[in-house]
Amino acid sequence: MIVVSYIYFSTSAGPRYMRDKKPYDLRNVMIVYNFIQVLFSVYLVYEGLVSGWLSDYSYTCQPVDYSNNPNTLRMMRAVHFYFMCKLIELLDTVFFVLRKKNRQITFLHIYHHSLMPICAWIGCRYLPNGHGTLLGVINAFIHVIMYMYYMLSSMGPHMNKYLWWKKHLTTLQLIQFSIIFVHNIQMFFNGCNYPKFISFLLTLNSLLFIYMFGSFYMANYVKGQKQKSAADTCSAASSSNGTIKNKVE
């Protein structure tokens, strides 16, 4: 119901509510929100590494442990906190709606934010540790950088000169899902005692994200850059022609 309500608000109710209203000024709220998200993400990276991925976890095969081992329970608590963070992150889109930034509410954005709470809930309920938790650690690391960018961006236009690395966020997302793809597809070949259906879903989902983030990158940073360069060339040519004409006259 949370996810369904989120989709309905983001795509229908929210934009209709804001149609005749001025955008809300949420600068201070967003600075605090993004700073808290950075702290949450740092905590998740630390807990994920200390609970297993820096010590006794295997990167080729890590079955789920349902015992009361202290590290197992610690990872379980981290997975639960990760799930709660995925629900809190739905506010990203709420802020877009209230600020009338509808252009940023893309299918990729809605799909990503709708799917992650469901995946995190499945992890919480059935797979609270083991092989799949590397996804959460990598995702949290990406979010440290991403929410740091959002925090600086929300401080105002004077911070733009420090935000030259925007397109590299998409590159990091592509690297993230490529690692997740490789990390999960090996489950079908090494005989690991980890649910193959979950590995299949993670593999398929990582491919979908690679395609969507790749398309976004091509449209915004490759084709967009080419179009901008072509426009600059035309503008320079027009200016040059105008100068020559003036000199002739």
Q: For the chain, give the longest Cα–Cα distance.
A: 89
The 3-state DSSP class for residue 20 equals: coil
CA 179 – CA 48 distance, rounded (Å): 16
**Catalytic annotation present for 112:** yes
Inter-residue contact 173 to 209 (CB < 8 Å)? yes
User: Which of 112, 131, 143, 183 is flagged as catalytic?
Assistant: 112
Cβ atoms of residues 244 and 204 within 8 Å = no
Judge contact between 102 and 25, C-beta under 8 A: no
SS3 content of the chain, % helix, strand, coil (to 5): 80, 0, 20
Catalytic residues: 112
